[in-house]
Chains A and B, each alone.
Chain A
């Protein structure tokens, strides 16, 4: 027998209410991550949405205040885990800017190769998943092969695949192996064909166009006000790209275009990402070409105060042992100062605001996470749309839960 009270204990106004409240997420398989949206729906049309974030908040900014600089790199891996090398290198570039370290050209170009591979890996997942959400699984399964190949390249260079911890302050921990070069060349040979085929599957596909065009659109002015950056801002028609606006890691040496859209809807975002993948392929090719003229044994800057010496030297050479000890025990002098440095992450401007007071760890480190900032526009983008449009809109924004919650 049920308790009578349960039947009368309804919230105020819930009987007169004409809309339904629906929890989309946090563990809904279609949201690709821990996202919760409390939707107020009228039939299948969304009246209003409220986003709840913070499900996987791990307090990285606080943890970073206790860690030495080189131990913060693994924290940045876990922000945007679809393109961790960009985060790692963004962090290294920030520390190098603070310390005034100049890295050799070859390191810059090697970094560019890795960062562009990471951008491709991130964009291909985002676009392939948009296909999945519109009902086309083929493209996803097909392109996944090439993300696998990119992960194998990471593995060849740094030993890990998803959370890469790639590189060090000052360069890389080891040189690219012949196997890594072979895989990079294989990727450059095979991926363009696959991408071309992927485009023929979706770009002019009637169903895909009907599902994405005019969905989740935003105009340039509003996108700027909402703090959009990266492909989402460019899809709205603003040609802002950190690689061009404030070049880092010798991006000024490369010739590439910044693709832009016009309506800022899901279809434009898809097109911009696809076009960027083609640009990234071209940048990698240029980098490989430029590397031919440079000595092939340079892979880090000569900064023994900050760059850990090879382990075999630590056991046999006195200087290496001293530097190893100084770095690990935090005896190296770090200049006090404050610096903001940003890189073009796969989904927007990834910024690092670092304040050093001279100690072995930062006094304050703040990550400008692009998708945390533009996710607040989601409620507006899906207002008046169908539930199924809300799903596509979310995947087209390229939201990464790890980055959103830091």
Chain B
């Protein structure tokens, strides 16, 4: 018997109650929010439980929502159960002032670089990570470039002299 989204939701609410909220199914993938201090407990349960078996970490990333007060950063986990071929998405919200989230490196070795990447671009501080430093950007960088307060350059600006690069000028 394959695992259904309703069954996963039922198991999670039985075990955690109010810790897991906001269940929805955009495009068929069960999505829910876990409280920030229990993300690891929820993932451990999803990993160990004999029925759920979410033992493959597909992806970790983050999204910045500047307008949500005290939960500006969302850390998004995509988990996959290979046996029943079910995917779920778990979200953890953290305030941008102190974005501390527990690391998943104790459960998944692959979380190491994915969390470093998330730290690098969003500044999510993964508590307990063995080697939390920048990965794709230079180490001297002092800001987190994927946050929304850094807009991309306006492509219509006219004050820039690009003549030396073969663009613009009078030709």
Contact = CB atoms under 8 A, between A and B. Distances in A.
B26 A377 contact: no
A294 B109 CA distance: 47
B55 interface: yes
Contacts of A406: 136
Interface stretch (B1-9, B58-66, B93-101): B58-66
A243 interface: no
B53 to A, nearest CB: 12
B56 A53 contact: no
B108 A57 contact: no
Contacts of B31: 338
A339 interface: yes
B113 A57 contact: no
A238 B83 CA distance: 11
Interface of A: 53-54, 57, 59, 61-63, 65-66, 97-98, 222, 224-227, 238, 240, 245-246, 337-340, 342, 349, 351, 353, 355, 363-364, 366, 368, 372-377, 405-406
Given A227-B57, A227-B108, A340-B78, A54 B29 contact: no
Nearest to B154: A66
Contact of A53 (B87, B109, B110, B136): B136
Contact of A57 (B57, B85, B136, B152): B136
B110 A353 contact: no
B155 to A, nearest CB: 8
Nearest to A100: B27
B42 interface: no
A240 B57 CA distance: 14
Given A59-B145, A353-B59, A353-B76, A54 B137 contact: yes
A252 to B, nearest CB: 13
A102 B28 CA distance: 16
A342 B108 CA distance: 20
A349 B138 CA distance: 27
Q: Which 7 A-B pairs have the closest CB atoms?
A: A227-B110, A54-B136, A57-B136, A366-B61, A225-B109, A66-B152, A368-B59
A351 B29 CA distance: 14
A337 B58 contact: no
Nearest to B29: A340
A222 B110 CA distance: 10
A349 B26 contact: no
Contact of A97 (B27, B76, B121, B135): B27
B4 to A, nearest CB: 16
A90 B82 CA distance: 21
Contacts of B58: 227, 342, 349, 351, 368
A337 B108 contact: no
B114 interface: yes
A363 B76 CA distance: 15
B136 A351 contact: no
A23 to B, nearest CB: 17
B146 interface: yes
Nearest to A349: B58
A339 B26 contact: yes
A364 B63 contact: yes
Nearest to B76: A353
A66 B87 CA distance: 29
A63 B150 CA distance: 12
Contacts of B11: none
A340 B109 contact: no
Given A97-B27, A353-B76, A246 B85 contact: yes
A222 B109 contact: yes
B152 A65 contact: yes
A224 B55 contact: yes
Interface string B99-125: 000000000111011100100010000
23 contacts: A53-B135, A54-B138, A57-B136, A61-B146, A62-B146, A62-B152, A222-B109, A224-B55, A224-B82, A227-B114, A238-B82, A337-B26, A338-B31, A340-B29, A342-B58, A351-B58, A351-B78, A353-B59, A355-B63, A363-B63, A364-B64, A376-B110, A376-B112
B67 to A, nearest CB: 11
B129 interface: no
Contacts of B138: 54
A240 B55 CA distance: 13
Contacts of B61: 353, 366
A357 to B, nearest CB: 10
Most buried by B among A59, A61, A240, A366: A366
Contacts of A238: 82
B136 A225 contact: no
A63 B78 CA distance: 23
Contacts of B117: 372
A373 B63 CA distance: 19
